[in-house]
Amino acid sequence: MSTARFTVSPLSLPSQSNLQNQNPPWIPTPQLLCKYPILRHLSSCKTLKDLTQIHAQTITTGIFSDNFVASRILSFAALSPHGSIPYARFLFYRIRKPDIFIANTLIRAYAFSPNPIDAVVFYSEMTESSVVFPDVHTFPLLLKACSEIPSLRLGEAIHSHVFKLGWSSEVSVSNFLVQMYASCGLIESAGLVFDRTPECDGASWNIMIGGYLKCGVFKSARRMFEAMPDRDVVSWSVMINGYVQESRFKEGLGLFQDMMGEKIEPNESVLVNALSACAHLGAMEQGQWIERYMERKNVRLTVRLGTALIDMYSKCGSVERALEVFHKMKEKNVLAWSAMINGLAINGQGKDALNLFSQMEMQGVKPNEVTFIGILNACSHSKLVDEGCSFFHSMTSIYGLKPNAHHHCCMVDLYGRAGMLDQAQTVIKSMPFKPNSAIWGALLNACRIHGDTELGEQVGKRLLELDPNHGGRYVLLSNIYAACGRWDRVAELRRMMRERQVSKTPGCSFIDLGDTIHEFVAGDSSHPQLEMIYAKLGEMSQELKAAGYKPDTGQVLLDMDEEEKETALCHHSEKLAIAFGLIKTDPGTTIRITKNLRVCADCHSATKLISKIYNREIIVRDRCRFHHFRDGSCSCMDFW
């Protein structure tokens, strides 16, 4: 649970005696709107100045004393994008007898604002001064605020008010209690509230399932989902979203396929999450199926769906298809432009990414922090050092954006990949905050690329102090030691990992063959077509040797003889996936592989030759970038 810092007086329970003095909430009618025609001007308000002028006129004419008029103006100030919550608060305390409808409007505005704690602060002031008495609609908003903070202490205080005022059995209140406890990590308490709710509705089930997913209790979520009396598109959306948000992409995509099998029409949220799962898995064929489904069903290409398609095609290595979607979109916001810029960047088309940025500016779209991460990545992966420096400095000088840790990490990566390790260190020293593990990791990777063992050792020690439970950090430092034959240091790092119970993430590669995503790990012995795959590997090895390939045994982080090292390299997960792809796809077609770790130098060299020997384009997405192998060369120019 987050430990947000705030100051709120202890919540006092409002006195029931105040209920007698409570104004009944107004009920707007068409007659009231006709009675006060000035309120029609609210729809044309574009600035706070416009609103204050209307407010001034209502005071001058004396109609602001009518709660209907006051509530309309306050609602606009609180909830409109052209309003102002502080001004709404100012209005509230100038209403002679505000009712609970007006108070709830302000609480709603605070609950959905960047500072939801203000909703509870206002409620605390309201109850202490006995200005108005809360009703059943007040507490869902307050509990929503507690979920957003999140704050268990305040949530429990609000729960006590709910209980004392007798609203625990109200399903709208209990649903938000479940959400609040789940958001604060107390899934057992959420379950108790759910079980004690007399009449749970569909929303109750969905919120409880969402709580299980958020807390990582997937078995309970699945069991409850299967037991639901009625499962609609919202229920499926909650499940698919929960799995995808928790990086369980394969299961999330499987749920989407189950949903389609039950002939339930997906909504936009489901389609976006399914496309996100395809993007992370590199499942382009399944992503294409979703796009064809959208076209067949005349689903409108919204900005959100278009951006998801761009992201999916880009992360599957098909920049051409991503650009087709981008140019087809009738509306584009900064997120769509940023997704396309990043897609070009990770696929090694840095100059195209910079050109697109220029087009974005000409269209009058203002870049944000995410846009600049894509631009700096483009410069890093394409060795555009001067351009990257210029963009980094322009963030503050031209666009008024403050570079964060992600942008500084990009700069360390930019200098590091270019071999400018002194400049990379200068970036770290001049940062206005302490460097995080990602920034030190970028510098350590640069030391590996350029063989700087001395600096790598210094950086590696800092990184292990900062992030002692991340197996990848040990492996990267081991790579540096192994490259210069310091097997004693490699062995020491392995001992440290054992003592600290740190495990190395196993290399894993995926290949999408349309109806099934096949997964391989290094030295895999579980695939049902294993014999055929290893036979193909043997054939590949003979062809590679005939083409002059020599295994890079320096990539094996174990002190063993050369023959054993060659065998270990031959069984890396991406080579197994490529062998399977050669067996299962037609000659001349593209093979697409997704790997969870960085491609090692030996597999990179071998894949370049395989692409030439078998006349195939092989696209590999690793943890760092895309590699488009064609005719014996790679789009990364051996720079990754």
490-508 confidence digits (pLDDT tens) = 888 889 998 888 887 788 9
pLDDT value of residue 352: 97
Inside any domain, residue 385:
no
Mean pLDDT of 581-604: 92
- Is the model's pLDDT at 438 over the cut of 50? yes
Write the CB contacts of 452 (distance below 8 Å, at least 6 apart in sequence).
421, 446
Inside any domain, residue 424:
no
Write the CB contacts of 556 (distance below 8 Å, at least 6 apart in sequence).
482, 565, 568, 569
Residues 528 and 481 both lie in one domain: no
- If 0-12 CB within 10 Å is exposed, 13-18 middle and 19+ buried, where does residue 37 land? exposed
Instruction: In whole angstroms, give the CA distance from residue 280 to residue 596.
Output: 10
Q: What is the DSSP string of 203-231?
A: HHHHHHHHHHHHTT-HHHHHHHHHH-S--
CA-wise closest residue to 440 among 459, 422, 414: 459
Inside any domain, residue 284:
no
Residues 531 and 599 both lie in one domain: yes
- In the numeric block, which tokens belong to residue 557? 């982080």
- Is the model's pLDDT at 333 over the cut of 50? yes
CA-wise closest residue to 281 among 242, 254, 262: 254
Instruction: In whole angstroms, give the CA distance from residue 442 to residue 462.
Output: 13
pLDDT value of residue 18: 44
Instruction: In whole angstroms, give the CA distance from residue 316 to residue 512.
Output: 10
Contact status, residue 155 vs residue 139, Cβ threshold 8 Å: no
Residues 471 and 529 both lie in one domain: no
pLDDT value of residue 551: 72
Residues 491 and 525 both lie in one domain: no
Inside any domain, residue 576:
yes
Coil, helix or strand for 552?
Answer: coil
Contact status, residue 417 vs residue 385, Cβ threshold 8 Å: no
Instruction: In whole angstroms, give the CA distance from residue 39 to residue 37.
Output: 5
Residues 594 and 519 both lie in one domain: yes
* Average pLDDT value over all residues in the chain: 89
The last residue of one of the domains, among 450, 465, 499, is 499
Bond before 150 cis per omega within 30 degrees: yes
**How many CB atoms are closer than 10 A to CB 610?**
24
Least trusted range by pLDDT, from 23-37, 134-148, 335-349 = 23-37
- Position 7, amino acid: T
Inside any domain, residue 608:
yes
Task: Find the domain containing 520 and state its range.
Answer: 508-634
pLDDT value of residue 526: 82
Residues 545 and 460 both lie in one domain: no
- In the numeric block, which tokens belong to residue 582? 């050669």
Residues constituting the chain: 640
The last residue of one of the domains, among 499, 524, 547, is 499
Cα 568 from chain centroid (whole Å): 35
**How many CB atoms are closer than 10 A to CB 498?**
10
In the chain, count of helices (H) and strands (E)? 32, 6
Q: pLDDT digit string (tens) for 264-286? A: 999 999 999 999 999 999 999 99
pLDDT value of residue 33: 57
Q: pLDDT digit string (tens) for 198-250? A: 889 999 999 999 999 999 999 999 999 999 988 999 999 999 999 999 999 99
pTM above the 0.95 mark? no
Contact status, residue 565 vs residue 551, Cβ threshold 8 Å: yes
Inside any domain, residue 39:
no
Coil, helix or strand for 639?
Answer: coil
Contact status, residue 344 vs residue 371, Cβ threshold 8 Å: no
- In the numeric block, which tokens belong to residue 144? 């929503």
Write the CB contacts of 195 (distance below 8 Å, at least 6 apart in sequence).
none
Residues 443 and 561 both lie in one domain: no
**β-strand partners of 508:** 521
Cα 546 from chain centroid (whole Å): 46
- Is the model's pLDDT at 385 over the cut of 80? yes
Residues 489 and 599 both lie in one domain: no
User: Regarding predicted confidence, which is higher, 633 or 1?
Assistant: 633
Residues 543 and 620 both lie in one domain: yes
Inside any domain, residue 186:
no
Dihedral angle sign, alpha carbons of residues 246, 251, 254, 260: negative
Q: pLDDT digit string (tens) for 71-87? A: 999 999 999 999 999 99
How far, CA to CA in Å, does 311 sit from each of 308, 365, 506? 5, 19, 26
Dihedral angle sign, alpha carbons of residues 468, 470, 476, 479: positive
- Domain count for the chain: 2
pLDDT value of residue 570: 64
Residues 512 and 491 both lie in one domain: no
pLDDT value of residue 561: 41
CA-wise closest residue to 385 among 361, 403, 412, 363: 412
Instruction: In whole angstroms, give the CA distance from residue 612 to residue 234.
Output: 49
Least trusted range by pLDDT, from 74-88, 326-340, 522-536 = 522-536
Q: pLDDT digit string (tens) for 130-154? A: 878 999 999 999 999 999 999 999 9
Inside any domain, residue 8:
no
Looking at residue 455, which CATH number applies to its domain? Answer: 1.25.40
Contact status, residue 285 vs residue 512, Cβ threshold 8 Å: yes
The last residue of one of the domains, among 449, 481, 499, is 499
Would strands 517-521 and 618-621 be described as parallel, antiparallel, or unpaired?
Answer: unpaired
CA-wise closest residue to 234 among 268, 200, 206, 276: 206
Expressed in angstroms, the distance from the first to the final Cα of the chain is: 38
- Position 478, amino acid: S
Least trusted range by pLDDT, from 77-81, 487-491, 559-563 = 559-563
Instruction: In whole angstroms, give the CA distance from residue 155 to residue 120.
Output: 10
Residues 529 and 613 both lie in one domain: yes
Mean pLDDT of 65-70: 92
Residues 452 and 533 both lie in one domain: no
